[in-house]
Structure 1
């Protein structure tokens, strides 16, 4: 089966409809038809790779623990669906669990944002799962992305930029490094900068856009890749174009 390519990245899954960074949320985004899932990776005190945006668990799980200082068995007791009272208990998933879900859905790809130094362990897990050809990395840390690319040359690399200065300097850096795309914060993009990204041979992207009017505006600018918490909204909008 050919992988999808529609420019819609389910940011932490499908947070509009399901708890972020949970297997239920990722499955929901896959069912909608996104071409990429995006998630964040932290390492527990005993070396297990968990999927959570924050370094601590309070916002998403209610109980506040530092992931890097807590062993896996304790983290697995927490409810990652805490903010969705209607949802069943959902443990914080491991990277291995998500890789298994991706492996079972050959049309989907996965973008990983390492929030810990364990890039080597992350790449090793991807290789064990046989998914090197369907993995990307995204982050604003250039050195971290270079390490990921060196360890996993097949992976696509998206350089996430926060402001105009990083965007403008990052275009040349990303091209020289062989990166695939540049995904800029929405406040730093205009038509000319989107054109400059595309003319450099990079896929132009924006993060994190949830408002329909903003989606329309960036589509009109020529943006292709969107990180969004509302993938159903963006998919419907793209289908109408």
Structure 2
């Protein structure tokens, strides 16, 4: 069984999330993907931030020039640095409006094989499939798992979305990934990306389960666990 690839969570190794310091640290580590959170400004620039507020002002209601004093990083700056390092980009979508901005950038720069979109619910998945079918995307299954549906209905819905939209896989928090869910995904040929695992105990529990990727803040620790498990 192949061990999972590592995705560096934004803010990994105790750096400031979505900062240039964070990106520079992540690309020095032994990871496949660097995750960044993406949203949009008032003047339609894709920037990095988990939340819509920075320094007491709303990003979506501010122009980029107004935000520069907070050292906000643009999506293009981040992707350029990550790609040049040889790593891939996991773009965690925070706003519907940012999808068009980053999709255009990905297509114009022929980055479909180097960028994957996560944070996608059903609405975002449908939009991407209709407008940018070449772009790789993950279905964030966490909201569906919380809906008032039977377990069978949730799994059937996930399988249908995967087949209809040619997804790269599902993105799921570790506490929702039961052995039963994982086995169903495996049986259907659906790759599982799990987040966010930061303790050694959880790392050892998931590293041999057959997931495609583990997202973590503690990259160095996860690499150590992977190396030890590889020689067992």
Q: TM-score higher than 0.5 here? A: yes
With the length of structure 2 as denominator, give the TM-score of the two structures.
0.85
The CA distance in 2 between the partners of 1:130 and 1:45, in whole Å, is 26
What CA RMSD, in Å, does the superposition of the two structures yield over aligned residues?
2.0
Higher helix share: 2
- Match of residue 8, structure 1, among 6, 29, 32: 6
**TM-score for the superposition, normalised by structure 1:** 0.82
CA contact (8 A) 1:41 1:53 kept: yes
Q: Give the gaps of 5 or more residues in structure 2.
A: 148-153
Indicate the structure whose relative CO is greater, using CA pairs within 8 Å and at least 6 residues apart: 2
Counterpart in the other structure of 2:165: 177
Structure 2 residue aligned with 1:189, among 159, 177, 193? 177
Alignment of 1:21-60 (within 5 A): 21-57=18-54
Cα separation, 2, equivalents of 1:197 and 1:238:
22
Instruction: Tell me if the contact between 2:34 and 2:88 (Cα under 8 Å) persists in the aligned partners.
Output: yes
The Cα offsets for residues 131-172 of structure 1, whole Å up to 9 and x where unpaired, read as 222111112412212323444333321112216456623233
Asked whether the 8 Å contact 2:47–2:72 carries over to 1, the reply is yes
Equivalent pairs, count: 218
State the partner residue of 1:121. Answer: 101
Unaligned runs of 5+ in 1: 58-62, 79-90
Contact 1:138 1:145 in 2 (8 A): no
Which of 211, 216, 222 in structure 2 is aligned with 1:223?
211
Q: Secondary structure at the match of 1:16?
A: helix
